[in-house]
Structure 1
Amino acid sequence: MSFAWRPFSVTVLSGGGAGCAATGGGEAMKIRKFRSAERFASAAQVWLLGTVIAVVAVAVAFFALGGYRDYDVTLEKGWSQAETTALVLAEQASRMIEISEILTAEIADAAIRDGLDHVTGAGWPRFLDRLEPVPQIGSLWILDADGTVLASSFRPVPAATSFADSDYFQRLKSGTRVLISPLMFGQFSRVWFFGYNRAIVKDGAFLGVVQVSIHADHFKSFFERLALGPDAAIGIYDTDGAVVMRWPLPENGAPTGPGHLLPPGAMQAAAGRLESTSPAGVPLLVAYRRLDRAPLVVAAAVSKDNVLAPFRTRLAWGVMLLGIGGAIVAVLGAAAFGTARRERAAQVMERAAARKLAAMLADRNHLVQSLQESERRFDQIAAAIGDVFWIAEPAARRYIYVSPAYVTLWGRSAEALYLDASEWAAAVHPDDRDRLRDSWSMIAAGRDLQYRIIRPDGSIRWIRDHGFPVADAPGRFAGIAADVTDLVAAEAAERAEAARMRVALRAGGLAAFALDVVDGTFVHDPALAEMLGLPADARVPTEADFIAAIHPEDRDRCAAEFRKAFRPAGLFRAEFRIIRPDGQTRWLIGAAEGVRTATGIVQAVGFTGDITERKLAHDRQALLIRELHHRVKNILSVAQAIAGISLRSVRSLDEFREVFSERLVALGRTHSLLIDSGWAGAQLADLFRLEFEPYADRAHQLHYEGPQVLMPPGTVVTFGLAVHELVTNSAKYGALSVPEGRIEVSWRVEGSESVRRLKIDWVETGGLTPAAPKHAGFGTQLLQKILPGQLRADVKVSHSDGGLRVAIDAPLPAEGAPDPTPPVSSAA
């Protein structure tokens, strides 16, 4: 701002004496008049000298008293600036510590509950999403118990990096639960940061560390917005004196910057102020304050010389004005001495003029100081708020004033705006210009304007403009234009987060609800109405209506549990049944927690989910476990029978070990088929394929074909062992023991749908002539006794020169419809 001074003038009046006629004693009269004038001139000289001394003394005293008071006021303003900065810095630091505390606690709880593998795997993207609306957080790290990086938001993720030797990791591993690490230079990010670290401990066992890195760049914009002047500094320290954050920062790891602003004794005080000196010898005014949320101390320092610079400027002006005043008084005194011989009236008038001039000089000095102080305060306020303060005359299409923030925010010259008022509108985004065509009428009506501007570098910023008419200046408007880009982005992120939450709840089959404690209003998602068997647009108006839908056997228990959400640290969590209007019973799970304000818990917020399928699956699982128990007992019985028969049919322990192991392996392969089918049975072709697989090198000697036949689960084990014994016997003594041998297997199903029989032909040719067995082995007993006994099968075994034929005729259960799948052949 500039000020124009009105010129003023001081007129010194003088007059001449009247002449006397020389008569008779005229000469004597002239002598007396001359002597009288001489005496008067001498007295006037003494009087004028005393007056000059008195005026100068009064002016010096007035100036000294005003300067002493101005010095104290100016210095106090510097202290206030430092204390305000320390308070704002404390709020900023507390907010970042609070965000870091919430985020690390949530991750640590998730790691304790779900495991580090889940948090760093499937659960990691959810935590990364939490970082988007929090620009203060630079990166997020999770270390295991050995200090190795498991997950990081830093890209690319450092490979096989370990922080096991770092001091903060060792302290956390030794029992410290939460630790704020000092200022560090990132070996990967190449930026300065400090870390908020939380140990992950489960049942006393140290699992790892979750770390939030807060980059120092966040403090750069904060520091620059404060405009504290040259040699200013801010810092954050822990109670041990370690530097947690400071600005200006060291560069490239070099220990430059202001260092410690506080002596060690100040680390324990709650708040205070002190004078200090920077490493460059600059005197500083330092204000400090302890944080309530963490064992940290913040400090802000401003240059004492910079604070006192306006005072010294005013002091120089005052001295100069006193010199001017003294010179003017001296000139007036000389003029008074020169005119002392003139008429007394002229001398009196001249002295009066001198006194008037002194008073005018004093008033002028006071006015200059007041205007300078007002201008300085206005400039400080306009620069500190970071918003654009403007004054305009719309009718004249001109802007009278814009604050320095216009250049920073708009990226355009203020001089260009003064010359052409359309510069302001030219920066408005094209999509917003039509909406702002009548902007002055909207401002006159008291409406705030929100629009976008395009800076010269192409970046887009959101502006919220609040203007108002100036009361004592018709046609003139003033206002403040604030940058709300971050606020708009935060609101958009909040809406996106709410949308994601709704999608997540619906995708997870959940429904959110909220109960107002004061008026009992019950608000819920449409999904809750669907869970209760109501139309999607139906509403459950009160808590009592919701409780009424619960099964009578669960109602009292559930209502009592739900009231826990209204107690301090209370949490409602229960599984219960509901009865739908159509009589169907469904299982739900519910959870809720109270929302606390300064007046207490005013709302309970929670969710419900349908777990009927989970309950049914649990019942099915119990049934399967009982079935598995039964199957295991059967397997053990079969294994015991195999062992007994095998032991009676071998000649040595080594032979028993070999044949018993092979039969157990065959038993295991058969059971694998049953498990893969969910105990529904096994395809006959799969049984032959599994038993022929060990002889893949002789596949040209093996051939099987027949229709798709699903063997009942009760016959699969016995029939699989029979096929195994036939293949093993052929490999040792039959067709597979010689290159010319061949095995042909075929089967078919005969009979009606209600009475079906499976007929299998096993034919070996080109092999050795079998000798008559001396005793019935395991395979013989399996074919001649076990198959007929367990499967009610008719088995016929015949030997011939170079071959063996086995014919099996076994019943099959009735089928509902023919199997449309094509026949199976090993040739395929």
Structure 2
Amino acid sequence: MGESVGQDPATDDPYRAGFDDAAIGLVVLSADEATIVAANRVLHDLLGWPPGQLTGCATADFLADRPEGLGDGIQVWRRADGAVLDVRVRRSGRTLVVETVDADAAAHSEANREALENAGLGEWRWDRASGLLTLSRRAARILGRQPGRSVPWDELKTGLSDPELARLGATVAEACRSGKPYHFDTPVTVAGRTVILRVRGQAVPGRGGELAGMVGVVQDITTRVEARDEILSRDQRLRVATTIAKLGIFEWHMLEDQAIWENEHMYEIFGHAPEDGTIGKNEFLNDILHPDDRAAVRHAISKALREDGILQIGGRIRRKSDGAWRTIDMAGRFERDAPSRLPRRLIGVVADVTDRRIAEERQSLLIRELHHRVKNTLATVQAIVGSTARTASSIEEFYEAFVGRIKSLAHTHAVLTEDTWQTASLANLLLSELKPYAEVSVLGGAEGRISLDGPAIDLPSEIAVPIGMAIHELTTNAAKYGALSNRSGRVAVTWSLEPGGPAGILRFHWRESGGPPVRPPSRQGFGSRLLQRVLITQVQAEVETDYDPDGFSLTMRAPIPPRNDSLNPLA
């Protein structure tokens, strides 16, 4: 047809009639394709020209977007009124078939098809009558199929599990009933590996409204899902880590002067609720931060901004919920859109280190206290060695007295160590010294040779050691020379707590009876010096001794120092 019409359509009536009456636009070009030789009525109507006026016109006048010449496919032509028109052109030699296309067909150009592939989208169409899926090249690659051949749905669905098939079937059925598009993500086994597909589709109705088929696109989103899961996993790990470490995380916008995001630990640390709103810079510096810490914090902020470094600050804040002062450490970095621009936001972490600081201070205090006690203990041991050596008449007597005094000292320290508040029970100190010599009756009973009567009193470490040593000397003297040196002697110890001083006055009374007649000592031994000097010097005690022939007695009044709560590990 192209050659017959091209030769002379006007002289061949049968061909000319067919040419003019064709239902599609036809045009014949000159040999150089620069001029229109003939055009039928449909083409004239399509381009808005009167019948017969296109003959002899230049083809370039009609090509709105193809200066390089005519070709196959969708093109943009210019009408007589200057408007543009989307047409589809099919070429056979110098004869062109020209017809209009709708907007969807015009948009679905070859370039768009390439864009779909570049976006990872493959097109598909399912025909209900045949049960076959027609796949684009991209869709075939995604589903692991050979391009150019249709795939039965029964074959394709083998890559889905039964529960997944049921779920997807319900989704598609509901979309078909409502007439709306549908989409879903699903795992599918393709070529032995599991991929995640994102499918979008739309039901295509038949002439009677029944379902004739479906069309849509498919995309492999496995990499995207894996990346998302990895981000979620990292977020979860970060959330767990910050929860365990009790770290507050925030992002503060500088221009808006408010936190645009903060985690739940920020609310706990600062004692405010989400409905209270976020904390701005001025509120933090002027109201929440301790006045004594504000200058240092402002300086640290200025330095971090100036040097573009890490912001590290510490200080005390007043918690809104209960008004308590808490100590925090904060670290963050100012983020900028460009090196030369001002920072837009601060991202950082906050930790409540109040308990840690208290523990550090307590540890430092305990170390100083330990140093002090070791120093005093060594001085006491040195005094014991020197005094025992001066008063002992033989090596055996020195050994016996020295070992006894060291054991007493060790026992007192053991009692102190066992108590969490570093105190020693007065009753326990007495029992440990007196029990080996005779039966002890507690709370003033009369059945034993030794009776103890007094309230429960815990002696702080600074007076427990010298009082323990004094009890040891009193017991040793009673066992050697006094009431515990025979079978009939008795020892009665009473004590009470009298008002006075920061924690009361200890009144301690030791009374012996039934022993050998008592005589005042002819010389002052270690025991006498301990009772008279150590108690007075270290305990600030008032000591009275009575060498009555019927039995020795001692009365002591000693102020009890207050407990130091900083030394209590349970406080």
TM-score computed with the length of structure 1 as normaliser: 0.39
Query: Is 1:432 the equivalent of 2:167?
Result: yes
Cross-structure match for 1:670: 412
Query: Is 1:792 the equivalent of 2:530?
Result: no
How far the C-alpha of 1:464 sits from its partner, in A, is 3.0
How far the C-alpha of 1:722 sits from its partner, in A, is 2.5
User: CA–CA distance in 1 between the matches of 2:389 and 2:121?
Assistant: 99
User: CA–CA distance in 2 between the matches of 1:444 and 1:598?
Assistant: 50
Which runs of 5 or more structure 1 residues have no equivalent in the other structure? Answer: 1-384, 409-413, 694-698, 817-828
* Cα distance change, pair 424–586 in 1 and its aligned pair in 2 (3 A): closer
User: CA–CA distance in 2 between the matches of 1:812 and 1:556?
Assistant: 49
User: CA–CA distance in 2 between the matches of 1:391 and 1:787?
Assistant: 102
User: CA–CA distance in 2 between the matches of 1:743 and 1:449?
Assistant: 99
Cα contact 2:134–2:151 (8 A) shared by 1: no
Question: Aligned to 1:515, which of 211, 236, 252?
Answer: 252
How far the C-alpha of 1:540 sits from its partner, in A, is 3.0
Question: Aligned to 1:393, which of 108, 114, 126?
Answer: 126
Q: Which has the higher strand share?
A: 2
* Cα distance change, pair 607–421 in 1 and its aligned pair in 2 (3 A): closer
Cα contact 1:450–1:462 (8 A) shared by 2: no
Question: Aligned to 1:705, which of 439, 442, 462?
Answer: 442
* Cα distance change, pair 798–781 in 1 and its aligned pair in 2 (3 A): farther
Cα contact 2:183–2:201 (8 A) shared by 1: no
How far the C-alpha of 1:502 sits from its partner, in A, is 4.2
SS in 2 for 1:429: helix
* Cα distance change, pair 442–487 in 1 and its aligned pair in 2 (3 A): farther
SS in 2 for 1:651: coil
SS in 2 for 1:725: helix
After superposition, where does 1:227-238 map in structure 2 within 5 Å? none
* Cα distance change, pair 559–447 in 1 and its aligned pair in 2 (3 A): farther
AA at the equivalent of 2:541 = L
Cross-structure match for 1:723: 471
How far the C-alpha of 1:684 sits from its partner, in A, is 1.9
How far the C-alpha of 1:511 sits from its partner, in A, is 1.9
Cα contact 2:159–2:188 (8 A) shared by 1: no
Question: Aligned to 1:592, which of 308, 319, 332?
Answer: 332
TM-score computed with the length of structure 2 as normaliser: 0.53
Cα contact 1:719–1:787 (8 A) shared by 2: yes
* Cα distance change, pair 729–431 in 1 and its aligned pair in 2 (3 A): farther
SS in 2 for 1:537: helix
Which runs of 5 or more structure 2 residues have no equivalent in the other structure? Answer: 1-117, 205-211, 444-453, 563-571
User: CA–CA distance in 2 between the matches of 1:565 and 1:398?
Assistant: 66
Cα contact 1:505–1:511 (8 A) shared by 2: yes
SS in 1 for 2:275: coil
Cα contact 1:522–1:543 (8 A) shared by 2: no
* Higher relative contact order structure (alpha carbons within 8 Å, sequence separation ≥ 6): 1
* Cα distance change, pair 712–446 in 1 and its aligned pair in 2 (3 A): same
Cα contact 1:577–1:587 (8 A) shared by 2: yes
Cross-structure match for 1:681: 423
Cα contact 1:639–1:664 (8 A) shared by 2: yes
User: CA–CA distance in 2 between the matches of 1:443 and 1:482?
Assistant: 27
Seq. identity, %: 25
Cα contact 2:520–2:547 (8 A) shared by 1: no
After superposition, where does 1:97-176 map in structure 2 within 5 Å? none
Cross-structure match for 2:199: 466
How far the C-alpha of 1:606 sits from its partner, in A, is 0.8
Cross-structure match for 1:647: 389
How far the C-alpha of 1:422 sits from its partner, in A, is 6.1
Cross-structure match for 1:538: 276
How far the C-alpha of 1:573 sits from its partner, in A, is 0.7
Cross-structure match for 2:313: 574
* Cα distance change, pair 594–799 in 1 and its aligned pair in 2 (3 A): same
Cα contact 2:248–2:264 (8 A) shared by 1: yes
AA at the equivalent of 1:466 = V
Deviations 1:396-430 (A, max 9, x none): 3433458487579xxxxx99955567656664537
User: CA–CA distance in 2 between the matches of 1:426 and 1:638?
Assistant: 84
AA at the equivalent of 1:718 = P
User: CA–CA distance in 2 between the matches of 1:614 and 1:433?
Assistant: 55
Question: Aligned to 1:609, which of 351, 354, 367?
Answer: 351
AA at the equivalent of 1:482 = D
Deviations 1:756-801 (A, max 9, x none): 7444456898xx999997644323444577558853344456789x
* Cα distance change, pair 506–647 in 1 and its aligned pair in 2 (3 A): same
* Cα distance change, pair 762–514 in 1 and its aligned pair in 2 (3 A): farther
Alignment RMSD, CA only? Answer: 5.7
How far the C-alpha of 1:645 sits from its partner, in A, is 2.8
Deviations 1:504-543 (A, max 9, x none): 5455443211134676553334544554454453223644
